[in-house]
Amino acid sequence: MAEQTIDVRPIAGSLGAEILGAELADNFTNQVYDEIHQAFLDYQVLFIRDQKLTPPQQAAFARRFGPLNDYPFVKGLDEAPEIIEIIKEPHETKNFGGVWHSDTTYLETPPLGTALYALEVPSTGGDTMFANMYEAYDTLSDGMKHLIDQLTGVSSAALRRTGGRAAGMDYKSGMTATNLDKADEITAEHPVVRTHPETGRKALYVNSAHTVSFVGMTAAESKPLIDYLITHAVRPEFTCRFRWEVGTLAIWDNRCVQHFAINDYHGERRRVHRATITGDRPH
């Protein structure tokens, strides 16, 4: 068996690990990728500090996990169209992703994962929290599992439940918005419990940003159960919290993880680059 080439250090009891010894800008070996990928499956979200990545290099790293897809509401960078730049300026009060969610579950094939790279961070604040949807499902009662195993959720890009605009912000700061007028039309139906295609584990697959109802039920009928599930899903013992530094890249498994970008750094600037990795239709 080949000697381990990276160091994997868990950061919390439920999920999350830091990776040491990997230089993502390099054309690293298949063995290094295999070790990172296994850690990705084991810990659901990985944090790799002290990287120096151009947008094409970030895209190349993310592409090792699978083809990249375009985000429907923001134009990508010229030098790497699959990368979007997310900025919150000091005068702004809303942030991007400031609600518990899985990325773009309103698409027919939501992303496998997301790779986020920090270019500018506030002096304090701006952390991101992550929650383990395997544990959220596993800790439900047998009766609740039996009920939700049979349900299909409806996700919408319009963020009706949170009162926000598509993707949760106003697209200022030079972010080029597209298709905002079509947000109400972008919906998808997915099982409330999805089976991870690589690990075979079941994960809860509803979120506060995008899940608006269950198929065959009205929004009013669906709301009490959705509210219970989204509250249960982010219990503290299912979460980890990560403090960003310039040069940190995080990559998380959208199939079994939710995340929340904490908006506690008004008056300071935060700038990150995001790539999303094409997934498959949830089952």
For the question of residue 101 being annotated catalytic, the response is yes
Alpha carbons 87 and 110: distance in angstroms, whole number = 23
Q: For residue 92, which of 268, 246, 262, 243 has the smallest C-alpha distance?
A: 268
Q: For residue 247, which of 119, 134, 136 has the smallest C-alpha distance?
A: 119
Pick the catalytic residue from 103, 196, 210, 273. Answer: 103
For the question of residue 243 being annotated catalytic, the response is no
What tokens were used for 100? 């518990």
Pick the catalytic residue from 101, 194, 196, 255. Answer: 101
Alpha carbons 254 and 101: distance in angstroms, whole number = 9
Pick the catalytic residue from 190, 196, 255, 259. Answer: 259
Active site residues: 101, 103, 259, 274
